[in-house]
A and B are shown apart, each in its own frame.
Chain A
Amino acid sequence: MIIEKTCIVCPIGCHLKIEKKQNSESGYEITGNNCPRGEKYALKEMINPERIVTSTIKIKDLKNLMLPVKTTDGIPKDKVLDFMKEVSNYEAIRPIKRGDIIIENIYGTGVNLVAAKTIN
């Protein structure tokens, strides 16, 4: 069976075709990608789909202004909504530098949640 997916790694959005192949190294044959990241993405989608999460958190003592945050890499797709709930409990304290770690090693993935903006 061939599974078709639009790659989400970059705006090009390659049409990936993924086929289970016992004899290949990864167990899948992937075509349609323009770069190696597409192949990596396709494999992950088959085994353990991940998503980068971008959101906002509160900033202490600032009304009507939120801090944008992002995960440094993908986290398990099925944990995204739970993670959103967890994120809402955090509050950043100024000064904040872009890249400051807000949550370290999310769900043991080694991925961090970091500030995406500097706010003094």
Chain B
Amino acid sequence: MKNYDLVVVGGGPAGLGAAIKARENGIENILVLERDHELGGILNQCIHNGFGLHVFNEELTGPEYAEIFVEKLRESKIEYRTNTFVLNISNNKVLDIINDETGFEKIEAKAVILAMGCRERSRGALKIPGTRPSGVLTAGTAQRLVNINGYNVGKEIVILGSGDIGLIMARRLTLEGAKVKLVLEIMDKPSGLERNINQCLNDFDIPLRLSHTISDIKGNDRVESVVVAQVDENLNPIKSTEEEIKCDTLILSVGLIPENELSKSAGVLIDSKSNGPIVDENLETNVRGIFACGNVLHVHGLVDNVTKESYIAGEKAADYIKALA
């Protein structure tokens, strides 16, 4: 069984930052594991700009922000493996991993940093009634298909949720020729940044309806329309305000959930509010030597803040490893 001082699970901004910082703090034997075919995580599909103002004092796109960290990782000669999936982490920090070239393997670490990020809330979590046609997808899935694979996901689009990804996708889909008919937000104020309301919606005259949600989805094969309704003070749709809007696509941007299935396998306790691990001021979980940072811990608004947090995790994990010696 291979041994590492530090294994970082996830090669997105949190994992990259933590690994680099741990190396700066004297840890030699580090391994970063990434399930996708390249490092960088979800930043690779965030082709818009707005990243890095706090960390680099300049405005970068997601791929650029990621690449700067990947370059640093390579310069620091930190070992990493892509296309590598972690099946399980035990509470004594043995990881079961698989890779299409190297097969199944167990590796042991003195310390582990959890940096798996988050996933999107789906239609099921919202319990939106109606039929189940194609054309209902989350903003991140749409973003991957459009930005990485280069495919359009629809022609007439309604977006539920005014989170930043939803707003960014409203602009992106418009630029790629789709008609974004409407953005809906169930709360009485938008959840994304105001600058995104301005540059993503106002620039293209896309209407935003606050205190509105989707009360029904119609269409047997592909989405044919959605029913939009105002909500009452308990956020339930008001029947008399229902309006049917023809569209072929419904994009959901309704929140992110930290992805902690692996954390649980290691016996890490999860906070029921944030859905992230319970950590102390060193970002260490209840399992000694297992740390967490980035969106796996709680969902961050800005990647710059993920990076700052990852530096703390990297440094504290380094302290922990050095104290063992």
Instruction: Indicate, yes or no, whether A interacts with B.
Output: yes
Cα–Cα distance between A17 and B197 once the two chains are bound (Å): 17
Interface extent on A, as a size class?
20 to 34
Binding site for B on A (CB under 8 A): 5-13, 15, 51-56, 58, 64-66, 68, 70, 77, 80-81, 84, 98, 116-118
A-B contact pairs, 10 of them (CB 8 A): A6-B195, A7-B195, A8-B199, A10-B59, A10-B195, A11-B195, A54-B48, A56-B150, A84-B176, A116-B47
Cα–Cα distance between A77 and B53 once the two chains are bound (Å): 23
Q: A6-B195, A6-B197, A54-B61 are in contact. Are A65 and B149 (CB under 8 A)?
A: yes
Contact yes or no, B175 A81, CB < 8 A: yes
Q: A11-B193, A64-B150 are in contact. Are A55 and B175 (CB under 8 A)?
A: yes
Q: Which residues of B contact A54 (CB under 8 A)?
A: 47-49, 61
A106 to chain B, nearest CB (A): 15
Binding site for A on B (CB under 8 A): 44, 47-50, 53, 59, 61-64, 67, 147-150, 175-176, 193-195, 197-199, 203, 301-302
Q: A6-B195, A70-B49 are in contact. Are A58 and B150 (CB under 8 A)?
A: yes
Query: Which B residue's beta carbon lies closest to that of A118?
Result: B67
Q: A56-B47, A117-B64, A117-B67 are in contact. Are A13 and B193 (CB under 8 A)?
A: yes
Q: Which residues of A contact B195 (CB under 8 A)?
A: 6-13
The B interface, classified by DSSP as helix, strand, loop or mixed, is helix
Q: Which residues of B contact A64 (CB under 8 A)?
A: 148-150
Cα–Cα distance between A8 and B196 once the two chains are bound (Å): 7
Partner of A66, one of B53, B64, B147, B194: B147
Q: Which residues of B contact A10 (CB under 8 A)?
A: 50, 53, 59, 195
